[in-house]
Amino acid sequence: NTGWIVGSSTILKTTNGGINWTPQSNGTDGYFRSVHFTDNITGWVVGYDNMSSGAIFKTTNGGTNWIPQTSLTSYQLSSVYFIDNNNGWSAGGHGTILKTTNGGTTWISQVSGVGFSLSSIHFTDNDVGFVVGGSLQYGGTFLKTTNGGTNWINQISGTNHWLYSVNFADYNTGWTVGDLGAILKTTNSGANWTNLISGTSQSLLSVHFIDSNTGWISGSTGTILKTTNSGANWTPQVSGSNSNLWSVHFADNNTGWALGGYPDTSTILKTTNGGVNWNLQLNRTSFIFWSFHFPDNNTGWVVGYDYNTNSSAILKTTNGGTNWTPQISGTNKWLWSVHFIDNNIGWTVGSSTTILKTTNGGTNWINQTIGTSDLLNSVYFADQNTGWAVGHLYNVNTGIILKTTNGGLNWVSQVHSSNYWLSAVHFIDNNTGWAVGQNGTILKTISGGEPVEVHSISVEVPYGYSLSQNFPNPFNPKTIINYQLRITNLVKLTVYDVLGHEVAVLVNEKQAPGTYQVEFDGSGLSSGVYFYKLETEGFTDVKRMMLLK
Length of the chain: 549
Output phi, psi for 417, to 5 deg. -105, 15
**Residue 396 CB partners (closer than 8 Å, separation 6+):** none
Average the pLDDT over 185-199 and give the result.
Answer: 82
- Which H or E run contains 537? none
Q: Which pLDDT band holds residue 316 (cuts at 50, 70, 90)?
A: very high
The answer to whether the pTM exceeds 0.75 is no
Average the pLDDT over 317-321 and give the result.
Answer: 91
Residue-level pLDDT at 385? 94
The rounded distance, in Å, linking the Cα atoms of 88 and 37 is 11
pLDDT tens-digit map of 399-410: 889 999 999 999
Tell me the CA end-to-end span of the chain in Å, nearest whole number: 45
Task: Let me know if the fold of 163-445 is the same as that of 454-547.
Answer: no
Higher-confidence position of 281 and 137? 281
- 280 pairs with which residues across the strands? 269
Q: Which pLDDT band holds residue 306 (cuts at 50, 70, 90)?
A: confident
Average the pLDDT over 247-267 and give the result.
Answer: 79
Tell me which amino acid residue 316 is. Answer: K
The rounded distance, in Å, linking the Cα atoms of 176 and 440 is 10
- Which H or E run contains 48? strand 43-48
| Statement: residue 460 has pLDDT above 80 | no
| Statement: residue 236 has pLDDT above 90 | yes
pLDDT tens-digit map of 354-409: 999 999 999 999 999 777 778 999 999 999 999 999 998 877 668 889 999 999 99
Please, are residues 493 and 483 in contact by the beta-carbon 8 Å criterion?
A: yes
| Statement: residue 507 has pLDDT above 90 | no
454-547 to CATH, choices 3.90.600.10, 2.60.40.10, 3.90.550.10, 2.60.40.1930:
2.60.40.1930
The rounded distance, in Å, linking the Cα atoms of 495 and 542 is 9
**Residue 73 CB partners (closer than 8 Å, separation 6+):** 53, 54, 92, 96, 98, 109
The CA distances from residue 52 to 11, 28, 49, 105, 252, in Å, are 19, 12, 6, 20, 59
Average the pLDDT over 238-267 and give the result.
Answer: 82
- 375 pairs with which residues across the strands? 392
Mean pLDDT of the chain: 84
Tell me which amino acid residue 314 is. Answer: I
Q: Which pLDDT band holds residue 134 (cuts at 50, 70, 90)?
A: low
| Statement: residue 136 has pLDDT above 70 | no
Residue-level pLDDT at 445? 82
The rounded distance, in Å, linking the Cα atoms of 105 and 70 is 8
Q: DSSP 3-state assignment of 513?
A: coil
The rounded distance, in Å, linking the Cα atoms of 182 and 176 is 8
| Statement: residue 78 has pLDDT above 80 | yes
Q: Which pLDDT band holds residue 502 (cuts at 50, 70, 90)?
A: confident
Q: Which of 8-22, 33-47, 453-467, 498-512 ranks highest by mean pLDDT?
A: 33-47
Q: Which pLDDT band holds residue 265 (cuts at 50, 70, 90)?
A: low
Average the pLDDT over 232-237 and give the result.
Answer: 95
CATH level 3 topology of 3-154: Neuraminidase (2.120.10)
The rounded distance, in Å, linking the Cα atoms of 410 and 523 is 27
Among residues 270, 171, 265, 262, the alpha carbon closest in space to that of 216 is found at: 270
A 10 A CB-CB count for 395 gives: 8
Higher-confidence position of 72 and 541? 541
The rounded distance, in Å, linking the Cα atoms of 485 and 492 is 12
A 10 A CB-CB count for 392 gives: 22
Higher-confidence position of 12 and 547? 547
| Statement: residue 137 has pLDDT above 60 | no
Please, are residues 427 and 406 in contact by the beta-carbon 8 Å criterion?
A: no
Beta strand segments in 71-198, E: 77-82, 88-92, 97-100, 108-110, 118-123, 129-135, 139-145, 153-154, 163-168, 174-178, 183-186, 194-196
Q: Which CATH superfamily is domain 163-445 in?
A: YVTN repeat-like/Quinoprotein amine dehydrogenase (2.130.10.10)
Higher-confidence position of 461 and 477? 477
Residue-level pLDDT at 156? 55
Average the pLDDT over 270-287 and give the result.
Answer: 85
Residue-level pLDDT at 337? 93
For the chain, which residues make up each domain, given as ranges?
3-154, 163-445, 454-547
| Statement: residue 21 has pLDDT above 50 | yes
